[in-house]
Amino acid sequence: MVEEKKEKKEEFEPKIVGFLCNWCSYAGADLAGTSRIQYPPNIRIIRVMCSGSVDSMYILRALLNGADGVFVGGCHPGDCHYIDGNYKARRRMVLLQNILDTLGIEKERVWIRWISASEGQKFADTMREMTEAIRKLGPNPISKQWNI
């Protein structure tokens, strides 16, 4: 029993920064909570009005400051409260991942997913999936890089 606890302490717990859109993903996360669906507590949620308002800068800043993963949640394509915000977020994500790929920074740490207000279960599942994926990747090497 004591040993088990010790092991758990040593396991790496990823820090994930999440940008969730007010109308879908944030409500989805809320539903997961009110429905008492359990999911890993590794995400730190920041509510934004639209996934289209998430500048690549936000994501880069989180990554360069040592976040192990960055999650962007938006409405399903076609369902955006502001008509086309998530389509623009999608293009922006393609550009960001392309640049990260060119520079050799792990683009696998940046996730974007469409989660609607009714998909509490999907939010919980996605969080579990992402936490495990990042855990496998290990800590973000940038967090050790002090000269950036």
Nearer to another protein, 69 or 74 (CB): 74
* Residue linked to tokens 């496998």: 136
x/- track of binding to another protein for residues 111-140 (CB under 8 A): -xxx--------------------------
Nearer to another protein, 38 or 147 (CB): 147
- Each as own residue / partner, the long-range contacts of residues 25-29 (CB below 8 Å, 24 or more positions apart, any chain) are 25/51, 25/73, 25/74, 25/75, 25/113, 25/114, 25/115, 25/123, 26/73, 27/117, 28/73, 28/115, 28/116, 28/117, 28/118, 28/119, 28/120, 28/122, 28/123, 29/73, 29/115, 29/120, 29/123
Q: Is 33 in the site for another protein (CB under 8 A)?
A: no
CB 83 within 8 Å of CB 93: no
Nearer to another protein, 32 or 75 (CB): 75
Q: Count of residues binding another protein (CB under 8 A)?
A: 40
Q: Where in 38-97 is the site for another protein (CB under 8 A)?
A: 55-57, 60-61, 64-66, 74, 77-78, 84, 86-88, 90-96
Nearer to another protein, 88 or 135 (CB): 88
Q: Binding residues for another protein, per CB under 8 A?
A: 55-57, 60-61, 64-66, 74, 77-78, 84, 86-88, 90-96, 98-99, 101-105, 112-114, 141-148
